[in-house]
Structure 1
Amino acid sequence: MIEPEPFRIYLMRHAQAASATPGGRDFDRVLDDRGYAQAEMVADRAADLGYVPDCLVSSTATRCRQTAEIVRRAVGETLDIQFVDEIYSGTPDLYATIISGQRPAHSVMLIGHNPSIDQLLEGLIGKEQRRTAMPGGYPTAGLAVLDYTAGTDAGSWTLTNLLSV
């Protein structure tokens, strides 16, 4: 997995999206009214807490793009967003590789999809801590804040905060 030095990861699941339209693609689903509200509340709370990533990497799916733009508005218009096609159907290992590729940034936000974002979180902090933090699963617009702590033998990831609606 990811083993940087001083580092923070923000893992955000896209906000709630409207149901797929008949004949429409899942990829094109947009945020519904509740999703916009979720994303705005979580993004505003993150900004209030000083959770501002050095860079943001997002899936190109419409609901992720919309969530990313809401985050940018809340934390700062100058935040650089990279949209990556592979996140849409990516594995937790791919998510980890994308995050690791953002060095020398000290903090990275990734906006992605379940189940991969949930599986990545579990891989970083462990199954028990993940279940305790999110007994009902990874919520839409959920933002996990993880900090890396270097240890004597090996470093570890700690769930510092979880923002959700």
Structure 2
Amino acid sequence: MSSAEPRRIVLFRHAKADWPQVADHERPLADRGRKDAAVAGRKLADTGIPFDLALCSTATRTRETWKIAVQELPHRPKTVYEERVYDASPGELITVLNETPEDVQNVTLIGHNPGIQGLAEVLAGEAEAEARERMSRRGFPAAAFAVLSFDGSWKSLEPGTATLLDYWAPSE
């Protein structure tokens, strides 16, 4: 990896969850969520980003989202199921990302709102106008993702240091 190559982070919200009588952490995907997770996986593949690492919440709906989406990627990255991603604030998510090994270039973080949307907003000091406008208009619905880039080490990632390059959300 050359120091001139920006690192990329994809912040990916889990797909639509069902509401059975189970604890929040154990909620599975709804039928629509399974469909949207596959579509999101194809859209992730379309980005052309060769993911080195996926950091995924331990919640059932995020694990199911990733299990479906990753099947659409040309290369399956190493996946780490991280308890701290569940119900995390943007600051807590930055701490998790700061611990990423330096040999990792591109990461996807599969998590929950409001943390994922908040993190996209906090990290993006700059943005492609169209991506920011789409994210502002749509919010961060289930199965949406934002693509950000930044220069430097993972330890240097902090608010305002990234650029929002792209944003995608399923049609409703």
For normalisation by structure 2, the TM-score amounts to: 0.81
**1:146: which partner in 2?**
148
Partner of 2:134: 133
- C-alpha contact (below 8 Å) 2:28/2:60 kept by paired residues: yes
Which whole-Å deviations, capped at 9, do the CAs of 1:98-121 have from their partners, x for residues lacking one?
A: 112113211110000000111111
- In structure 2, the partner of 1:163 is 168
Cα shift at 1:127: 10
Q: Distance in 2 between matches of 1:31 and 1:164?
A: 17
Residue aligning to 2:96: 98
Q: 1:39 aligns with which of 32, 37, 44?
A: 37
Tell me the residue number matched to 1:122: 121
Structure 1 residue 149: deviation in Å?
4.9
In structure 2, runs of 5+ residues without a counterpart are 153-159
Alignment check: 8 A CA contact 1:149 1:158 kept: no
Deviation at 1:52, TM superposition (A): 3.0
TM-score w.r.t. structure 1 length?
A: 0.84
1:8/1:147 contact within 8 Å kept: yes
- Which whole-Å deviations, capped at 9, do the CAs of 1:120-146 have from their partners, x for residues lacking one? 111111599786232232111111101
Matched residue of 2:107: which SS? strand
RMSD: 2.3
Question: Is residue 46–residue 52 contact of structure 1 (8 Å, CA) maintained in 2?
Answer: no
Taking every aligned residue pair, what percent have the same amino acid on both sides?
A: 35
Q: Is residue 8 from structure 1 mapped to residue 13 from structure 2 by the alignment?
A: no
CA contact (8 A) 1:10 1:53 kept: no
Distance of aligned partners of 1:127 and 1:139 in 2 relative to their CA distance in 1, 3 Å threshold: farther
Question: 1:85 is aligned with what amino acid?
Answer: E
Is this contact kept in 2: 1:12–1:112, CA < 8 A?
A: yes
On the 8 A contact 1:58/1:112 being kept in 2, the answer is: yes
Count of aligned residue pairs for this structure pair: 155
Q: Is the CA contact (8 Å cut-off) linking 2:132 and 2:164 kept in structure 1?
A: no
Seen in structure 2, the aligned counterparts of structure 1 residues 136 and 72 have a Cα distance that, compared at 3 Å, is closer
Structure 1: segments with no counterpart, 5+ residues: none
2-structure distance, mates of 1:137, 1:78: 28
Q: Greater relative contact order: 1 or 2 (C-alpha under 8 angstroms, separation 6 or more)?
A: 1
